[in-house]
Amino acid sequence: MSLETFGGRMALANSLHSRGWQQIQMPRKLTDPTLRLGREGQSRKALVLVNADYSKSDAYSLPGARFDAKRVPAALLAAGFETTLVLDASVGDAREAMAAFTRESASADVSLVYVGGHGLQHKRVVYWMMGDYPERDSRWLSSHAIALDEIGASGRAREANLVLYASCRDDPFLGK
């Protein structure tokens, strides 16, 4: 499947699922829209970031995300991705894994980062929340959440860098 076809299908599925409220972030123009994902000999690296345990926050834990921590790496391995899983990480551990992935993905043709767990969107910035998010207050974003753009910047592959974000994007801080 070409990158353009993949992006188009993801955009349609996302729009239908969210009833048009959410849109995927995708460049207006792809460097090579005909790039084939899964091409023979293509070097692929993946980073799977999942937070399922939110017992140290006021958010509920996510058993479905824990299931994703098993099935997503397995699917990526089957698709030929050298895959690293980071489960229930602190913000420091997640950033350390992202820094390592930045270095590792630079030698790949394609990189993919999968993000699962609680997330939110505040002032047009999408965040992935750590399992120890203290309370529902935006002042904790810088120390207990990571912006999706920062996560996406960890992919440095030569041909394509993909981010699959499987978290919410509501804004629990509206009016605050």
For the stretch 74-119, pLDDT in tens is 999 999 999 999 999 999 999 999 999 999 999 999 999 999 999 9
The Cα 114–Cα 116 span in angstroms is 7
DSSP codes joined into one string, 36-103:
BTT-TT--EEEEEEE----TTSSSPP-HHHHHHHHHHHHHHHHTTEEEEEEES--HHHHHHHHHHHHH
Percent of the chain scoring above 90 in pLDDT: 59
Residue 176 has pLDDT above 60, yes or no: no
Mean pLDDT for the stretch of residues 161-173: 83
> Per the structure block, which two tokens stand in for 89?
């990480």
For the stretch 30-49, pLDDT in tens is 677 777 777 888 999 999 99
Q: What domains can you pick out in the chain, each with its CATH number?
A: 1-25+35-40 (no CATH), 43-166 (3.40.50.1460)
User: What pTM was computed for the model?
Assistant: 0.85
